[in-house]
Each structure stands twice: as C-alpha cells, then as structure tokens.
Amino acid sequence: MVANPGGGSTDAGGGPVRHIPVLLDEVLAALAPAPGKLILDGTFGAGGYSAAILAAGAEVIALDRDPTAIAAGQAMVAAHGGRLKLVHSQFSHLADHAPQGGLDGVVLDIGVSSMQIDEAERGFSFQKSGPLDMRMSAEGVSAADVVNRAKVADLIRIFHFLGEESQAPRIAHAIEKRRAEKPFETTRDLAGLIELVTPRKMKDKIHPATRVFQALRIFVNDELGELAQALFAAETALKPGGRLVVVTFHSLEDRIVKKFFSDRAGKASGSRHLPIAHERAATFAAIGKPMVSASEAEAEINPRARSAKLRAGLRTDAAAEAADMSLFGFPNLANLGKLGG
C-alpha cells in the first residue's frame, strides 16, 4: 500500500499517481525472502510487495481489510498456484493466520492506498466530491458520523493529535455551528467549510483540509491502534530468526514503531543511579540501520515516498512480552463505537 504521508503531502486531495511499492528494494533486503520461507504481507493493497516476495521464491499469506483489494487480488492468487493465500482481515489479527510453526517474515506498509484515495466514492479525497466515508473496510462508523456526532472537545482532540492541526479549535467550533443547520454529507462539503475558516496562505504547501482529513481517516480506521496491535501480533507469530519490516509515512506511525523496537531491545529498567530493577531479554534485534528513508531518486519518481521510513527487527528466541498498549501513550479520544448512526 502507499500511505498518506500527512503534513508533507497532498495525498488526501487525491491525484493520478499510480501504485508504486515504496522502498521495495530496501524492504526485500530487510525481509530476505527466499524459497522455503513463509512471509505474511499484512497490507496487500495492489500486491506490490507480495508480487516481489513471490518472485524471490517465498510463499505469501497476504491480508487486507479492504474487500475491494481482496477481490482485485484474486487473479494474482490464481496465477501463483497455491503459493499466495489472500485473506480478508485486519493486520492486527495477523497472528490468527500464522501457522503453528511461525512465520519467517512479516511486512507492514502503513496507511491508505493510492487506489482508495483515487476512488471518489470511498470519501478519502477532498479534490473529488464523494460521500464523507473514509472506511477502509467499508464497515462501521464513517467520517460523516464522526463530524456530525462527536462533541466539539472530541473533535478538537482528534484534529490536534491525529492531524497535528494547529487550528483544531477554530475548525471544530465551525463544524458544530454548521452541522446544527445541515449535517455534513460529502468530502467537498467539509473541505469547503475548512477553506472558509482557515484560508490557504501563499506560503502553505498543503491544502487547509489536509490535516483534518488525515485525522478523520486515522480515527475512523483506528490506524494507530491497529499498528500497535499488529506489532504485538507479529512478535507472537514470528519464529526465532523471523523478520519484521514496517514502512510508515507519518511521524505518529513512525514513533509507534520506533518505541516498540526500542522497548523490545531488552534494555534493563530502572535509573542509572540505582541497581538494575529488572533484566529483560530482547525479543528483537536490529536489522541494519535503525531507520531507512527513500533515496532522492525514488522520491523524484514517486512523491509519496518522500516521508517513508523503514524500520526492521530480527526475532530472537525470547518469549513474546505482554501486549501492553500503555507503552505507546495514546491519548483518550472519543469512543468510536458510540458515534455510529
């Protein structure tokens, strides 16, 4: 998948950018697919990573929460004679699809795909008028439900934390006033209001609605929670020597991955001025550099790669640790389930 890089891109606006797997050579180098290995691609999308892994001789279990991606990938499944298994599932559940003996690798490419952005009916883009939807799975609470039902204080937190939007209070109060007269239904409806409230300045590199749309998309799909749960699931599902490779496109995502690998490096807890309180065995060892970014050449060919960051870890033989979400310090946001129609 090719994800929305957030503040440094206008992906939320859509555009005729074809699907190009980001950091493909670097992903393959870190993942080391080969004949006899079983790799799980947690974000199948258009199948870019899966195709390259299959070409290297490995077998692939691929997941995607988007039913349209599953349908579109059936031709690839048929073409590989049983070496590709495609499953409709969120990647937070990846351990449920791993064999008892474990996986040799897991790759996750975080975010929204270019295909989803380019389809107006999915509601991810404000450049094309469509329903205010943004649901990757086409199920559950939509962006319209959030915009029309969430309390102003919740909207402010969502826009501020997930979109890093400095004008969150102004935008949220304007939404409250407008929705009292008429509920928001389309992407252009919401984007138009944001343009009026926070007009674009000459120095601005992105559209005024970009960060709000990003925040809504992340919230509606629980993208940060999904990523955190997927990291814990990969720790459980990988066999010793297995490889976890994660490509992110936004600082919020990258911080989660960085914090996870740092925590799983087995550093002892306690102050340096006091005796070591607890010695922890590392569950992951670093693979290569701590972080790899796209080259200038790749970024020139594929602008969506500019903010991409790759982090990877090698699974040790230590037992998996508890899946403690407090590790990531997520703020308390609105209860998504209570905002549905």
Q: For the chain, which domains are there?
A: 115-221+333-338 (1.10.150.170)
Q: Give the tokens for residue 266.
A: 């087995």
Binding-site residues from annotation for S-adenosyl-L-methionine = 47-49, 64, 91, 109, 116
- Distance separating alpha carbons of residues 30 and 261, to the nearest angstrom: 15
CB atoms within 10 A of CB 324: 10
Of 125, 89, 24, 131, whose CA–CA distance to 233 is shortest? 89
- Give the contacts of 202 (CB within 8 A, at least 6 positions apart): none
Q: Give the tokens for residue 147.
A: 């915009």
Instruction: Identify the pLDDT of residue 336.
Output: 79
- Distance separating alpha carbons of residues 213 and 100, to the nearest angstrom: 40
For residue 96, give the 3-state DSSP assignment: helix
- Distance separating alpha carbons of residues 299 and 304, to the nearest angstrom: 7
Backbone phi, psi, residue 235, to 5° = -60, -40
Binding-site residues from annotation = 47-49, 64, 91, 109, 116
- Distance separating alpha carbons of residues 142 and 125, to the nearest angstrom: 14
Indicate the pTM of the whole model. Answer: 0.86
Instruction: Identify the pLDDT of residue 12.
Output: 40
* CA geometry: angle 207, 168, 225, nearest 5 deg: 90
- Distance separating alpha carbons of residues 22 and 110, to the nearest angstrom: 11
- Distance separating alpha carbons of residues 143 and 162, to the nearest angstrom: 14
**Mean pLDDT per 10-residue section of the chain, whose length is 341 residues:** 34 43 95 98 94 98 92 95 95 96 96 51 58 84 94 96 95 97 94 92 81 93 94 98 96 95 78 59 95 92 89 97 94 80 57
DSSP letter string, 3-68: ---GGG--GGG---PPP--TTHHHHHHHH---TT-EEEES--TTSHHHHHHHHTT-EEEEEES-HH
First-to-last CA distance in the chain?
Answer: 30
Instruction: Identify the pLDDT of residue 113.
Output: 54
